[in-house]
Amino acid sequence: MNVRTSVDFSRADPAPRIADNMLDLVGQTPLVRLQGYLDEAAVNLLAKVEAMNPGGSAKDRPARHMIERALADGRLKSGDTVVESSSGNMGIGLAQTCAVHGLRFICVVDPNAQAQNVAIIRALGGQIELVETPLDGDFLAARLERVAELLNGAPDRFWPNQYANTDNPASHETGTIAEIDTALHGDIDYLFVACSSTGTARGCRDYLRAHGRKTKVIAVDAEGSTLFDGTAGPRKISGMGAGRLPDLARGQRFDDVIRVSDLACVAGCRRAVAREGFLVGGSGGGVLEAVRGMQDRLRGKTVVAIIHDSGARYLGTVFDGDWVARELGASESDVLAMAGLMPSA
Ligand SMILES: Cc1ncc(COP(=O)(O)O)c(C=O)c1O
């Protein structure tokens, strides 16, 4: 393999800045050039590494913004309790934010929540409220009912409601995309973004349109997701897609929508590791595979892929061959073939 860069050991790095608290470390995540992921070398592909946020994902941004806006306008005050239904990155981001601001946090989860995420939320001081029985066969409905019960008649409790709260996309408009745009001096031909609440994609698109950029924003969604007129179906990769259309997503239009299968997400994760030494999470693998699927049309273009989190959150799923075989019915060689990583005979 080619040596891609050389290090000049004689040059001292500038001293890192000293942050005021953990939330002050949210944002300013790096971009990295992916020089080996695609077969088409003429695409200038960069990834925005959101796992470098202190809570480990892009969700640190909306978590912080939703809570700090509510604190600023008096909907929340120190000592109050935040209640949210999430077993993933948002739960972790909120637990972190609440710890810094002296707020209590109750996180409503169901038995499908990944044990590792629940453990992180607990470790960050969150209280876990487990809903054990679905409502009319639906765990999401049961979780939302429990949130409503917990809020009922308790004025010192606040529900950020990430799926309807416009402070969610606003955090990406003022943060994620503003950072990308500044780093690339506005020269971005394509932006690929995984969607669930659509907060990230909406915020990025709104900034780009407000600044007169011609960037094409490509929404990446899961097969089996109801976003963008999709039909609900089984989905196994957490983070991307929605089983029920979120308020934030209603009527949202992007330049294109690409749907990726669970298996494509797994293949993308394996390829990112093999080609780049980049341990990306499931949605990141899907986003990179969406770019790879379009690479012939991207020659000569600058393309940015937002990678929402790290593969370290998926060791028991995407990166576990037994899980992939059991849940997705694919063998290791199926995955490697899909990832274009089979050694040639
Ligand atoms: C890993 C991962 N990827 C993508 C997304 C989608 O982001 P958004 O909710 O802003 O659409 C999420 C959101 O939870 C996520 O956790």
Q: What confidence tens digit (pLDDT) does each residue in 74-114 have?
A: 999 999 999 999 878 999 999 999 999 999 999 999 888 88
CA distances 131 to 19, 60, 85, 92, 147, Å, are 38, 25, 10, 18, 10
In angstroms, what is the span from residue 236 Cα to ligand 1's centroid?
Answer: 14
Domain 60-158: assigned CATH number: 3.40.50.1100
Q: Which residues of the chain does CATH 3.40.50.1100 include? A: 22-52+166-334, 60-158
Residue 123 and residue 17: Cα distance in Å, rounded?
27
Q: Say what the pLDDT of residue 243 is.
A: 87
In angstroms, what is the span from residue 242 Cα to ligand 1's centroid?
Answer: 10
Residue 199 and residue 165: Cα distance in Å, rounded?
9
Q: Say what the pLDDT of residue 113 is.
A: 86
Residue 75 and residue 155: Cα distance in Å, rounded?
9
* Most informative mutation of 61, 114, 308, 313 for ligand 1 (most atoms within 8 A of CB): 308
Ligand 1 proximal residues by C-beta, below 6 Å: 57, 59, 88-90, 194-201, 239-240, 281, 283, 308-309
Beta bridge partners of 217: 191
Quick one: DSSP state of residue 77?
-
The answer to which of 18-32, 137-151, 285-299, 302-316 has the lowest mean pLDDT is 137-151
- Half-sphere exposure (Cβ direction) of 108: Cα atoms closer than 13 Å: 25
| Average pLDDT of the residues of the chain | 95
According to CATH, the topology of domain 22-52+166-334 is: Rossmann fold (3.40.50)
Report the largest interatomic distance among the alpha carbons of the chain, rounded to a whole angstrom. 68
The answer to which of 3-17, 125-139, 193-207 has the lowest mean pLDDT is 3-17
pLDDT category at 3 given cuts 50, 70, 90 is low
Count of Cβ atoms closer than 10 Å to residue 21 Cβ: 9
Q: Say what the pLDDT of residue 47 is.
A: 98
Q: Which secondary-structure segment (H or E) carries 219?
A: strand 216-222
**pLDDT over 70 for what percent of the chain?**
97
Is the distance from CB of 45 to CB of 37 less than 8 angstroms? yes
The answer, yes or no, to whether residue 237 has pLDDT greater than 60, is yes
Specify the pTM.
0.95
pLDDT category at 5 given cuts 50, 70, 90 is low
In angstroms, what is the span from residue 87 Cα to ligand 1's centroid?
Answer: 12
In angstroms, what is the span from residue 17 Cα to ligand 1's centroid?
Answer: 28
The answer, yes or no, to whether residue 345 has pLDDT greater than 60, is no
Is the distance from CB of 58 to CB of 186 less than 8 angstroms? no
Is the distance from CB of 174 to CB of 202 less than 8 angstroms? no
Q: Which of the pair, 310 or 244, is modelled with greater confidence?
A: 310
Q: What angle do CA 247, 252, 258 make, to 5 degrees?
A: 115
Q: Say what the pLDDT of residue 317 is.
A: 94
User: What is the average per-residue pLDDT within 145-159?
Assistant: 95
Residue 179 and residue 97: Cα distance in Å, rounded?
21
User: What is the average per-residue pLDDT within 26-55?
Assistant: 97
Residue 316 and residue 323: Cα distance in Å, rounded?
7
Among candidate residues 284, 251, 244, the one with its CA nearest the CA of residue 265: 284
Mapping DSSP to helix (H, G, I), strand (E, B) and coil, where does residue 105 land? Answer: strand
